[in-house]
Amino acid sequence: MPIKVMNDLPAKEILENENIFVMDENRSMHQDIRPLQIGVLNLMPIKQDTELQLLRALSNTPLQVDITFVNMKSHVSQNTAASHINKFYTTFDEIKDKKFDGFIITGAPIEQFEFEDVDYWKELTEIFDWTKKNVTSTLHICWGAQAGLYYHFGVKKIWLDKKVSGVYEHKVLNRKIPLVRGFDDIFLAPHSRHTGVDMEKIRQCDELQVLATSDEVGDLLVSKKDGTQVFVLGHLEYDRLTLDAEYKRDTNKGLNPDIPVNYYTNDDTTIRPYLTWRATSNCMYSNWLNYYVYQATPYDLL
């Protein structure tokens, strides 16, 4: 599928070198079709890494996707150059009068704060409310999923005894739900988090359904039954070396982290880890774009 991005977004060249079809603005203007309008609220500190991960994940259907990257006006990023944000990002104020086919809200490394103590929580709740009327389907990732479940459904997060980090087995609970069509019965997915969610509260909510879970680390995929809100409590978008970078970063900080579970061969951190979740990630993002966005969105967004 062609992903439409700004002509000089740094991720564009990397994706093209990986044989991923990326369409620039000039070419898209000459195509007589309406691309899907997908917004990405990128809450991660190093925004370029997340841009690349999500563009890879969204690149595996024949649908054309027009990406709009959004950042928080009420928070100044300390780890991404202001020039990059000013050039490639827009604020919520600039898009709040528009409608989107799909919207993605990423995770953020702020789990150890209560939701209300996050400096951009008020702005984020405005975005949560806006998505309910202006977006066909919203996909929430990790902390973004925890925050969305808390705000929309009152599902509280739970503090874990130690960080969950690694690649874990999950099982599909209902193969007939479109989001998990094509999944294996048992599949692998990465997690990297200090908190979980109240799974019992999720199961008590009539509006929610659990699509995939793990005996080791809990629920991974949860959705509102009408498909308008999807919650991914792990990181299917992660690249091969994302957990490796996190582990080595924390090691260098003297945090003495546990070796990520089921990630390095024989727990040897010098061996390049296998990528064991990419097919599942491609399947989930393709299913979301097709069944929850493309098949459900009106042709005329206005």
CB atoms within 10 A of CB 32: 4
Is 246 marked active-site?
A: no
**What tokens were used for 103?**
């919207």
**Is the Cβ–Cβ distance between 67 and 40 less than 8 Å?**
yes
C-alpha 232/C-alpha 220 separation (Å) is: 6
- Using DSSP's 3-state secondary structure scheme, residue 180 falls into helix
**What tokens were used for 260?**
């990520």
Is 111 marked active-site?
A: no
Choose, from 111, 142, 170, 246, the residue flagged as catalytic. 142
Handedness of CA 111, 112, 113, 114 (dihedral sign): positive
- Using DSSP's 3-state secondary structure scheme, residue 17 falls into helix
Is 18 marked active-site?
A: no
Choose, from 51, 237, 246, 283, the residue flagged as catalytic. 237
Choose, from 140, 152, 170, 235, the residue flagged as catalytic. 235
Chain centroid, CA 165 distance in Å: 17
Active site residues: 142, 235, 237
